[in-house]
Amino acid sequence: MAFPVVNGSSCFTVFGATRDLINQAINFYTNVLGLSLHSETDNGVYLSNQDNILTVKLVLSKKGLTEDQIQAKKASFLEQLNIHDWRTKESSLVIKSSNLNQLIGTLQAFNQPIQINPNELFPNEVYTLDPLGTVVGFNSGGNPMTVVPPVEKMSSMVADSVMMSASNSHFSKQDEGVKTRRNIAVMTSGGDAPGMNANVRAVVRAAIFRGCKAFAIMEGYEGLVRGGPEYIKEMTWHSVRGFLSEGGTNIGTARCKDFRERAGRLKGCKHLIEAGIDALIVCGGDGSLTGADLFRAEWPSLIKELRDTNQITAEQHETYKHLNICGTVGSIDNDMATTDATIGAYSSLDRICKAIDYIDATANSHSRAFVVEVMGRHCGWLALMAGIATSADYILIPEKPSSSRGWQDQMCSIVGKHRAEGKRKTIVIVAEGAITSDLEHISANQVKDVLVERLGLDTRVTTLGHVQRGGTAVAYDRIIATMQGVEAVKAVLEVTPDTPSPLIAIDENKIVRKPLVDAVKITKSVAAAIESKDFEKAMSLRDSEFLEHLANFMAMNSANHNEPTLPKEKRKRIAIINIGAPAGGMNSAVYSFATYCMSRGHTPYAIHNGFAGLSRHESVRSMDWLEVEGWNSVGGSEIGTNRQTPEETDIGMIAHYFEKYQFDGLVIVGGFEGFVSLDQLEKARAMYPAFRIPMVLIPATISNNVPGTEYSLGADTCLNSLMAYCDVVKQSAAATRDRTFVIEVQGGNSGYIATYASLISGAQASYVPEEGIALDQLEMDIKSLKESFAVDRGLAKSGKLILKSTNASKVLTTQVLADIMKEESNGEFDTKTAIPGHVQQGGLPSPIDRTRAARFAIKAVQFVEESSDVLYDYKYAMDFPDDKKLTATAAVLGIKSSKMRFKSIRQLYDFETEIGKRMPKKIHWAKTRDVADQLVGRSRITRAPA
């Protein structure tokens, strides 16, 4: 070795139980780390570097571990490799290294077990076990609490070679076959779905980040059966560049008859072993995941047969005797049980809603009826959600059929009443699997004929077909595909042979693991129940959110033609108001609120132009069904909105009008100003009895900064606008081959939008108000950009994005940031700015914001109904007590983790809010920032809180 790769300023003492172990330690520290023998005394052996700055003392002592203890310790540490941080197991020696990359290569050459943080692309720290069982760490800063960017980051070529050398030492013979890292393969199978590419990208990069070797199996199970390097390809970090913004699946998918037979699965088993793969992640529908689980169940018998027929060696049999499998669900039908959403479903729904929005305009122009056929052979989710999002007149889904005469009578009755009320257009949505109660198929043309013959409507049929599968994934699908891919890699590293194969699912807003076999079993039971005409069972097997959405659609759709469901004495006068900046979904919430109120028998009121409009102009109007028809798919705020709170206008006058109109409940749709308004109204209850009514806030702001919820209406619409904007800008940057765009995003003091926009656009970095812009971090990011452009020169898809929240720094504005980067680039790349501005607030609301707005609004009305009795005895009482039951009637409706819940404004405002910053105290998207950085190879300097 030309020069020692370690240096430092400390003396360490380590203990060995035998002389042989001491000699092994001498060999390790001299040959591997480049130290030399300094002196030897009765007390021990002293080793040092050439400047005598670092000294290691090796002492023969009973304090040292025995050989058996050392081997057991190594096995324990290797089991935790790439799963848990070794630094949490025990304290360690930390030595400063002048060249971590060279050190890693040396340790690997000597077959040493190593753990690298954060990853082998950009190492900051390296840990290993010496022959005496001591944990030894190497750090650029020489201190375990110091994170210093490497002096010389690896280029992509170097990174790939390091990954290859690391993966080639997949099993260390000296560690008796204990796995040091897995070889993980990813496959897409079944029908393609938007977001599959994002899932593949996440799996590949998360695997590499964790020190594993990544593979892609081309053409689904067909590629697994055929095998060989043409179909089982090793993937590098850059193999998946550009995948985020591309539709379909770049690694291909194909249905495979051979894999359904044991002989085909035997071939697949052999080909995985030949490629050295011991973990498989499958992204597909229920058929694909059924095959995956069967493959894992048969694996022991398959590998035994291969060994018995001498197709694999005894060593291979022992090495690959277990196959870890994990599933992520890619399906536009959203027909997998136990998960709220499948990858691709919301992208498909987005295509459908856009098509119906376009059709809606021409239908209104000509007073026509349109029958729109959507996909969904066994599941009506797409038809149901599209019906809610577009205010369709009628839907036909396989889960809720009626007799051949029944559906015709019901549809014509509803459509006829809608037309009688003055509606000029009719939209009927038919799932391709729609059936009668006798299992007779209902075609779109049959529906058209009924509308023509019985109602005399000018009717057209539109079959959307495979356009529903096409195009790039929407923001939500990119998010869940990415997060599920990262979780899938973590899962295959953590599961044991006794653990059931996991399915990565989503509950409300939380990524969770569920047993794959159970999910597949329930999913298949739905189709079986439909085949046996047990439709009640089929509905019960759908998730509770499906049932809730169906009940909501039926309630809103009956607003003008059915008798109200509540008796007169329980009907109320409920008002709705918009507060704060416009957000996608505000109109959807107002529409859903009004129609649901009508279906129940309540009188819905709209307070126009916020509290300022109420106090100055008495802007209260009852709502009419025909007036709000079509609002579901309109952006902005039809009833007007502003940021003024009750105390900023005239709270006494507001109380007067509440009393005048005898409001029994209030629904506020808005952001942080709405949150503050609810607090002010709740506090004023003691003085103004008019406010002693149930009040609920539906969070609606692109900033998503309302305490008490992880999701606000408008955030998804904003992310989709930003995603489209970033994709276009990135394409422009890539065309010039050497350009970075610094994009300024809104969000106030919240980094939510910047964080998730970074995740879905593949931005190299995002700067947010919670962290600010530290100069050392900026310097590190610029160095990373310079190297990245140097490696990518001349290659396609090489454009880079940097996202900056407006409030991330007052000094380092977007333009200043771009100027600094350009100046420091030394001509390696050019820098431009892009500011989307209020484009982020506008546009048509996304299907997610439309459907969640409906769910929120209906929950809010139900909250008013259920909470009214609690306040009844205190409406005009002289004293209004400070009681938890009473304060709970003023609440924020939000999604927290996997639950939708109401939480008291008093609890949130007093204990969970940073009022000055207009932010919740706990930031729920911090882990997402880590994932976004990991998947672009960004190192981030973290600092301990002051």
Render the burial of 592-625: b for 16+ CB within 10 Å, e for the rest.
bbbbbbbbbebbbbbbbbbbbbbbeeebbeebeb
> What region does 842 belong to: left with phi over 0, alpha with psi -120 to 50, or beta?
beta
Q: Which long-range contacts (CB under 8 A, 24 or more apart) does 647-650 make?
A: 647/680, 648/611, 649/611, 649/612, 649/614, 649/615, 649/616, 650/615
Task: Write the CB contacts of 733 (distance below 8 Å, at least 6 apart in sequence).
Answer: 739, 740, 741, 799, 800, 801, 832
Residues 285 and 306: their CA atoms lie apart, in Å, by: 29
Pairing verdict, β 739-745 and 800-805: parallel
636 to 187, 346, 839, 857, 914: CA distances (angstroms): 41, 22, 12, 17, 28
The 10 Å Cβ neighbour count of residue 913 is: 23
- Number of residues assigned to the chain: 946
Q: Determine whether 68 is an active site residue.
A: no
DSSP H helical segments within 405-515, as ranges? 406-420, 444-455, 475-494
288 to 135, 223, 281, 282, 516: CA distances (angstroms): 44, 14, 11, 8, 11
List, as one string, the DSSP characters of 101-118. Answer: HHHHHHHHHTT--EEEES
Residues 174 and 151: their CA atoms lie apart, in Å, by: 33
Question: Which residue, among 375, 365, 459, 364, has the nearest Cα to 411 in the 3D structure?
Answer: 459
Pairing verdict, β 573-579 and 232-235: unpaired
Q: Which of 333, 393, 543, 716 is catalytic?
A: 333
- Dihedral, 694, 698, 699, 700 alpha carbons, nearest 10: -140
Residues 788 and 785: their CA atoms lie apart, in Å, by: 5
Residues 373 and 394: their CA atoms lie apart, in Å, by: 12
Cis peptide before 118 (omega within 30 of 0): yes
* Distance of alpha carbon 475 from the chain centroid: 9
What positions carry a catalytic annotation? Answer: 333
